[in-house]
Amino acid sequence: MRILNGNTKKSTNKYMQSPYPCIYCDHSTEFGSDRFVNRIPADTYHELEDGKEEYRDGYACADCMAIDCDRCGKSIDMDEDITPYDVFGDHGEFSDNAYRVHEDCLTSKEKKLWEQFEQ
C-alpha cells in the first residue's frame, strides 16, 4: 500500500507504518500476515506501564476487537452478539444494563422477545 503524504497528516506514529502493529496487542497486521484480512482502522489511548497514556492511531486486529459478553464475560464472535436493540427495538435496554450478550445469556423472557423480533 502506498502512503500519500499531503492532505493526510504526516505521522511518525509507528502504528501507521510497516509492520502496522495492532494498536492493542502489537502483533503485525501487515499485508501477508494472518491479521491483515480482518484488521480494522482504530485508535486508542493506550495506558503504559508508568501510568502515562500514549495515543495510537492505526489498526486493530480482529482478536482485539472481539467483544466480551456483559453477562458471562466470555468473548462473543463477531456478528453473534445480541444487543437490547435486537430484543426490544430502538428504545430498549436490558434491565441489568448489559449491552452485548450471547444468545445463551439472554433470560428466557428476553429470548422469547428476541425470537419474535427476528421474524
Contact footprint for Zn ion (CB under 5 A): 22, 24-25, 61, 64, 69, 71-72, 102, 105
Q: Give the nearest distance from C-beta 4 to Zn ion in angstroms.
A: 26
- Closest CB to Zn ion among 24 and 36? 24
Q: Give the nearest distance from C-beta 7 to Zn ion in angstroms.
A: 29
- Closest CB to Zn ion among 34 and 115? 34
- Closest CB to Zn ion among 8 and 23? 23
Cα–Cα distance between 99 and 67 in angstroms, integer?
Answer: 11
**Which position has the grid cell 486508542?**
44
Peptide bond preceding 19: is omega within 30 degrees of 0, i.e. cis?
yes
Burial class (CB in 10 A: 0-12, 13-18, 19+), 58: buried
- Closest CB to Zn ion among 64 and 87? 64
User: From the CB of residue 31, how many other CB atoms can be counted at a distance below 10 Å?
Assistant: 12
Facing residues of 43 across strands? Answer: 57
Q: Give the nearest distance from C-beta 3 to Zn ion in angstroms.
A: 21
Q: Give the nearest distance from C-beta 25 to Zn ion in angstroms.
A: 3
